[in-house]
Structure 1
Amino acid sequence: MTRYIRHAAVFCALLLVALLVNATRIQVVQAGRYDDNPANRRATIARYDQKRGDILVGGKPVTGSRDTGEQLRYERTYTNGPLYAPVTGFASQVYGTTLLEHSGDAVLSGTDPLLTPFPLWNDLTRAQSPGGNVVTTLNRAAQQAAYEGLGGRKGAVAAVEPSTGRVLALVSSPSYDPAVLSGNSAATERSWARLNSDPDKPMLNRAVRQTYPPGSTFKVVTAAAALDAGVVTDVDKPTDSPDPYTLPGTSTTLTNEGDGCADASLRAAFEWSCNTVFAKLGVDVGVADMAATAEDFGFNDAGLRIPFSVAPSTFDTSVDKAQLALSSIGQYNTRATPLQMAMVAAAVANGGQVRPPYLVERTTTDDGDTVSTSGSRPVRQAMHPATAVRMKELMEDVVTEGTGTNAAIPGATVGGKTGTAQHGLGNSGTPYAWFVSWAQGERDLEPKVAVAVVVEDASADRGDITGGGVAAPIARAVMEAVLGS
């Protein structure tokens, strides 16, 4: 009898060993395959089983979490969703994450190992830390001013702090409410289809993901290149610039919207945005130096992130002289995002230095303890400091005496540049209205804000005055909001 009991015990022990071996095989050897299996919903259920961390603007959350009581328990909510959508993006149970919701997902979802002092213990117990927070650099008043200034018209606004690169406003219009994509119902699918089929493209982030011909606002870059290269040594000396100007190697002539541009000085040409002067200056500088200056400002940089990616602004380096002339007035293949043009204005305001823009000040735990900060960022010299001083003077003249008077702020020093960018077949499209600027308060030791505004459907007359009439008031409102903060 004892022998039978011993055999049964050995058999049971073998079964136990086999069970343990199989469990080890499943949980260790094949764990990855089971985790990645589309039929495995445990990870998805766990992801939405707790509240998601928040994105903060001015110390206040612009996101939240709603308890649905369903299997995927918590659903993302947004405060003033359309206002902050170009920053937050969306966090959807069906369509994933975008923008800050995507780049900050590890912190917001609680999976970042830096959120807990004992990450190995969490791995063993499969516990998850509460979602942390992402603190942005945005200025609430500036964001609101930019959004209201566009008033639903197609366009975008970007504002940065010149001395640091902190992004103060990032607005794209028309916008959308990310909350309609948060859940997993049929209504979410209908909203997704509607937004993607909308010809106005409300989910397109025009401030950082759309490039436009910058038009005459690019003359800031051309003027800086001409001064740095020594092509212009005296901003008040007449230039050898015929009006009209025949593009090199062609019979095509370039003209101006107004009179008085023939042989105009750089100061006068910048103030009244003479196309003929700047087209010839670009040719005189040459493609190599023009491209080098443009790239120092940030053009042709495919790696810019804030922390989500920014579409590269481009200056064509393989052009003939006629094409270079057009490129130097912000046409032909020259393209820029509003954020890039805000960087151009910021470089002028910051003594010629370009500070890489960034949108996240720091990340924190749910209790507010700092997890990470933005850290130090490299500085690039876009132009000589002496050139930046002269460029500041030229931009101030545009606001005090030229085409940008609508951007003037009483008691503040403001510099700006208007622009009208032609586009479409035969330049038949309604010109884009541009304005780039910077502002320094009466008591400020340095400029506090640089802004770029583009309005796609300006519905105004052609010419640089369009940027001054349509886009400049929006820029002024944003600058006033920052100076008044």
Structure 2
Amino acid sequence: MNKTIRRASVFALLLVLALLVRATWVQFYEGRALADDKDNRRTAIATYAAPLGNIVVAGKAVTGSAPTSGGDLRYKRTYTDGELYAAVTGYASQSYAPTQLEGIYQSLLNGTDTRLKTVTDTVTGKRADPGDVVTTVEPDVQKAAYEALGDKKGAAVAIDPATGRILAVVSTPSYDPSALTDANTAGAAWKKLTADPDKPLTNRALRQPLAPGSTFKLVVAAAALEEGLYSSVDERTDSEDPYTLPGTRTVLRNENASAPCEDATIRVALQYSCNNVFAHLAVQLGQDKLRAMAEKFGFNDDSLDVPVRAYPSVYPTGMDASSTALTGIGQFDVTATPLQMAMVSAVIANDGELVSPHMVSQVTDGGGDVLKDYDDASSTRVISSDTAEQLRSAMETVVEKGTGTNARIDGVTVGGKTGTAQNGENNSKAPYAWFTSYGSADGKSVAVSVVVEQSDAARSEVSGNGLAAPVARAMMKAALN
């Protein structure tokens, strides 16, 4: 064999070996990734070859499966009261990746979760019967929030402080997940929803942090009491009114110019939402101590799963004294989700302890046997029992005769805190209206947080008490009924 033929043969052999190595790599190492690729048609065909498992609210499935009119996708997802529960369920689509609980528990709901396989399934290679996801959501509380928000752009969350069970997760405007389930029609619906400037696909309750405004003053008050800056919510503070931000000539004034905010106690400062008191407290505490307290409540946590991953609420770093002062009133770069502010109220209502919030109670197999129970949630102490008791007393004053009177409920002990957060450069856009609260009666309690981003109300009428407190009131009444 001459040299040219020998070299050509070796080269051809190397090419064959390279092809064999590549084929082996694809089959054994990349096969799973290719099988799971969202653009793999075979994955969609397998997923929708049979009915999916269900997401359950109060013993009733709010999802279902229906036969299609033909084609290789035999079933499609259906939803009962889809717009009401969209922020909980998300959607399962023949065309798009699933979201919210549909996405978190995709393998359980389509029967590919290894926990579902029986010995027979393993031997035959048959896909297991799908499992179900049992939520903690209470229909009456969910509906009360949805109806009270109405056509407003906003969100609301309700939590049982003692158990961490999330009773409601609502985001408005909502959407009907059923519009996205069928591959034949989902494209037009997707285009419309993603082009909507109100962003109905965004879960505002869990995944859109905004400036919390004066609701953050509860965190500042907790830090002041825990650090011993003041021993009681009824001890007078050293707070000039108006307050000049440190190192600047900028004067921070109070919304109510006639409010008794000069040297006001923490109780009175919460009652009238005195900016001067909490800005000064933030400076006295310093950003490090205030951040530490915020993080105990859950801020700056980028791994908060309920089990949907919530966007982190943020208390910033690297500030000067004037910026630190502004964080004391929930402005500058402080952001929070409604979930986070509901957690703040839940800690105060639960004697200072935070029970891990969760909106799934159990996951079960096709026969109803429990695969995992989430209701035995862990808890951590955030503030002392004494601090929690004092803050409850002050929050009740806010509702009884302060800025949160629209949250009062006959026969129910209600504590709350309003917030009106600036929005846009130089507050050029309509402010956000916040309300965070708790209600207790007959041994039961609920913590609620509401934000209204936009409504038809005139700018002068936008306030936590005017827009958000009535929503919270409706939710608390439903939860404690």
Name the TM-score, length of structure 1 as normaliser.
0.90
Check the 8 A contact 2:233/2:391 in 1, yes or no: no
**Structure-to-structure mapping, 1:156-167, within 5 angstroms:** 156-167=155-166
CA distance in 2, matches of 1:373, 1:190: 39
CA distance in 2, matches of 1:263, 1:463: 28
**Structure-to-structure mapping, 1:116-195, within 5 angstroms:** 116-118=117-119, 121-185=120-184, 187-195=185-193
* Alignment-mate amino acid for residue 477 of structure 2: E
Aligned pair count reads: 454
Give 3-state SS (helix, strand or coil) of 1:207's partner. helix
CA distance in 2, matches of 1:299, 1:245: 27
* Alignment-mate amino acid for residue 217 of structure 1: T
- CA drift of 1:40 comes to 6.8
- The equivalent position to 1:466 in structure 2, one of 439, 451, 463, is 463
**Structure-to-structure mapping, 1:45-444, within 5 angstroms:** 45-68=45-68, 69-118=70-119, 121-185=120-184, 187-258=185-256, 259=258, 260-374=260-374, 376-441=376-441, 443-444=442-443
* Alignment-mate amino acid for residue 228 of structure 1: E
> Which entry has the higher C-alpha Rg, 1 or 2?
1
Give 3-state SS (helix, strand or coil) of 1:91's partner. coil
Give 3-state SS (helix, strand or coil) of 1:377's partner. coil
* Alignment-mate amino acid for residue 82 of structure 2: G
Check the 8 A contact 1:133/1:364 in 2, yes or no: yes
Superposed CA offset, 1:37-89 (max 9, x none): 78974443222111000000011011000101431101000111111111100
Check the 8 A contact 1:78/1:178 in 2, yes or no: yes
- CA drift of 1:228 comes to 0.6
Superposed CA offset, 1:74-108 (max 9, x none): 10001111111111001011112111001111111
Give 3-state SS (helix, strand or coil) of 2:435's partner. strand
CA distance in 2, matches of 1:475, 1:156: 11
- CA drift of 1:465 comes to 7.8
Check the 8 A contact 1:257/1:463 in 2, yes or no: no
Superposed CA offset, 1:400-420 (max 9, x none): 111111111111111100110
Check the 8 A contact 1:160/1:346 in 2, yes or no: yes
* Alignment-mate amino acid for residue 238 of structure 1: R
Percentage of pairs with the same residue = 49
Give 3-state SS (helix, strand or coil) of 2:451's partner. strand
Question: In the alignment, which residue of structure 1 is the partner of 2:449?
Answer: 452
Superposed CA offset, 1:358-404 (max 9, x none): 11100112332212111533322221111001000001111111111
Check the 8 A contact 2:412/2:439 in 1, yes or no: yes
Give 3-state SS (helix, strand or coil) of 1:308's partner. coil
Superposed CA offset, 1:114-140 (max 9, x none): 12332xx43442201121110000010
CA distance in 1, matches of 2:189, 2:475: 31
Check the 8 A contact 1:55/1:135 in 2, yes or no: yes
Check the 8 A contact 1:273/1:464 in 2, yes or no: no
Check the 8 A contact 1:217/1:330 in 2, yes or no: yes
**Unaligned stretches of 5+ residues in structure 2:** 1-22
- CA drift of 1:463 comes to 8.2
The two structures, once aligned, show a CA RMSD in angstroms of 2.1
More moved, 29-38 vs 301-310? 29-38
Superposed CA offset, 1:140-168 (max 9, x none): 00000000010021000001010111110
* Alignment-mate amino acid for residue 181 of structure 2: S
- CA drift of 1:266 comes to 1.3
Check the 8 A contact 1:420/1:464 in 2, yes or no: no
Check the 8 A contact 2:165/2:375 in 1, yes or no: no
- CA drift of 1:451 comes to 0.2
CA distance in 2, matches of 1:244, 1:404: 23
CA distance in 1, matches of 2:85, 2:451: 18
In the superposition, relative to structure 1, how do residues 41 and 323 fare at CA in structure 2: closer, same or farther (>3 Å)?
closer
In the superposition, relative to structure 1, how do residues 397 and 46 fare at CA in structure 2: closer, same or farther (>3 Å)?
same
Superposed CA offset, 1:301-325 (max 9, x none): 0010011110000001321111111
Give 3-state SS (helix, strand or coil) of 2:366's partner. coil
* Alignment-mate amino acid for residue 86 of structure 1: A
More moved, 299-308 vs 255-264? 255-264
CA distance in 2, matches of 1:214, 1:375: 29
- CA drift of 1:183 comes to 1.2
CA distance in 2, matches of 1:137, 1:453: 19
CA distance in 1, matches of 2:456, 2:316: 29
CA distance in 2, matches of 1:48, 1:159: 34
Question: In the alignment, which residue of structure 2 is the partner of 1:8?
Answer: none
* Alignment-mate amino acid for residue 449 of structure 2: A
* Alignment-mate amino acid for residue 402 of structure 1: G
Question: In the alignment, which residue of structure 1 is the partner of 2:9?
Answer: none
* Alignment-mate amino acid for residue 374 of structure 1: Y
- CA drift of 1:188 comes to 1.2
Give 3-state SS (helix, strand or coil) of 2:183's partner. coil
**Unaligned stretches of 5+ residues in structure 1:** 1-25
More moved, 333-342 vs 462-471? 462-471
In the superposition, relative to structure 1, how do residues 385 and 74 fare at CA in structure 2: closer, same or farther (>3 Å)?
same
* Alignment-mate amino acid for residue 235 of structure 1: V
Give 3-state SS (helix, strand or coil) of 1:204's partner. coil
In the superposition, relative to structure 1, how do residues 377 and 437 fare at CA in structure 2: closer, same or farther (>3 Å)?
same
